[in-house]
Structure 1
Amino acid sequence: MASSSSSSPLGETNETRNWLELPRDVTAMILHKVGAIEILESAQKVCTTWRSISKDPSMWRTIDMHNPGDLFSMPYSLEKMAMHAVDRSCGELIDINIEYFGTDELLQYITERTGQLRRLRLVCCYDVSDEGLSEAAKKLPLLEELIIIFGNITKEGLENVGRCCPRLKSLKYNDHGSLCFASDDEALAIAETMPGLHQLQLIGNKMTNRGLQTILHGCPHLESLDLRQCFKVYLGGALEKLCSERIKDLRRPHDSTDDYGFDTTVYDGFESCDDDSVVDDSVDDVFSYGGYSDYDDYTKLDEYYDLSDFDELFFGD
């Protein structure tokens, strides 16, 4: 018997999936994974069902405005789009990520419309100032996680966040590493105002051993500590032992940054270099100065000098 001309090859069907027939919760999950920008710019315009789901406040409890950073090529205003997304949350917003376009005005807009925020992510937001973050922090008593990757926030902003956000458990405060400059300002601000921290990431921070000791003393609940590219921290002896005993997840200054995901350019004050080209010569040079050449000898050094004075002994003020 001749086969029907309508028959399909083995394993193939003529059926097509009708996306409009998916359960509402499944569609909502798919749209949420698409992201806030794509929902507002295109997905909500597909059909009335998708638009209805896109206007549900539960869709906007988490707002991720991830973008490539090329703001001049975008045909829309990310700041206005973020404000519209915040409005749709109807006060239910608990997590927001703003990258490259965050400003003091946008932070004010966000905090005036939600008191439930648990997580705030500021990536390359150079238009967010200490004053702007400080004012926002006053309205974020439930904040548990703050992420600041590059930007202009200093110890002042950190201090005010610590004082206003007593539930803060996780802080990422990352910058470009520096081979020349040293400062414990931010470390002291963290240690003095954020005793409840469990996770702390300080990639590229300029703190010294003194700053690290202060953090370990002021943040007794720390379980995770990331010190990558903190080139003025020299672990060894008692300080190394203390970190190893206290911290479950410890990333050391010269550990790899391959999994970091952001620019790892290191600055030496005059020119920059890639992270992979940074050679760990500084520690050997320091120990050679005092007649010590390896980490075993560093233990001997630790027996005679208070580690809090380590940088002053070798580098001065």
Structure 2
Amino acid sequence: MSHARTTVSPGDDIQAVLDRAGPEATVNFEEGIYRTRGGWSPHEGQELTGQNVYICLQDQTNAEFQGIFDCTRPRITIEAFTIDGNRENQDSGVMYGVRGVEDATNLTIREVTVRDIRGIGIHCQGNRSRVIGVKTTHCSEDGTKLQGVRDGLVRDGICTENRWNGVAVTNGCRDCRILQTTTRSNGENGALVLNNCQGITINHCTFASSGYHGIAVESDEEFRPCHKTVIQNSVIEGSEYNGVFLRRAPETRLHESTVRHSDEHGVSIVSSPRCRIKDSRLRNNSQQKDAGYNGIDVRTGAGSSTGAVITGNWIIESGERRCRHGIVMLPDSQGTYTIQNNQIRGVRDEPIVTSP
């Protein structure tokens, strides 16, 4: 292992410097603008750091790399860069600001800003990936995505105005955490947990003005359900559909969170047994005029939503546009549920409905 320390400057052949430095080296990028027609692939254990470093993808790309930082080896650190994908001038080539494949385990991406990528801002597939203090904006797909990752972390992030999701956790992720992260004005969901994920935790986050749902936890029919997602101490507001949407997401827990100003239901649960909504505040949802949506809406869909527990919540409505009911519980004929100690005020019709 070299443990070398190397400095690069704008205009240098970056890949050649990375190759010469070898594994475990620290490569410091001097301040300035770095223009590239493709991407760079760090070696195992390399730490790439910058300060006031701006990386701009040129109008023609080298298809050899899919990421501006294309990570294919373990224990790489990417820290303190601004990456501009210049997507309006890209027809092919680079698809990610930083990409980590399955072999890129223990990848750390810290204090990086990624914008205008023709694809995904940050895309990690290696276990124990860490995305900390990263800002993604104006990417044509997801801002930050973990795919098939075990023990992944997204923390202190800001994801705004990406075309798809602010943060996506998909395809078999296990025990991943989204902490202290803010998403705003993303085209689809603020956060998406999708397809056979287990043990995902979302804590102390804010999801605002999402084009679909603030948080969606769901699985397509060809995949196993998403089990045991925990959403707590978070704020979900201004969603164009539901604040929280659960479909084939059994044992999801929403605790001590605020859901407000959604156009449709505050919380929608479909085909998701044994979910718990506890000690949360839902306020002024059903903002589509005369839409008749509910604070918490539990339905069977194509499967059972039996075993729901809804306790200790405040559902408060005021103004012209208000929820029709506070809680609607329509499980299958064999379903059981618990509704207790909820405070419901200002809804248009019955506070609680438990029959078709």
Higher relative contact order (CA 8 A, sep 6+): 1
Normalized per residue, the structure richer in helix is: 1
Larger radius of gyration: 1
Query: Is this a same-fold pair by TM over 0.5?
Result: no
Normalized per residue, the structure richer in strand is: 2
Bin for the TM-score computed over the shorter chain: 0.3 to 0.5
TM-score for the superposition, normalised by structure 2: 0.36
TM-score for the superposition, normalised by structure 1: 0.40
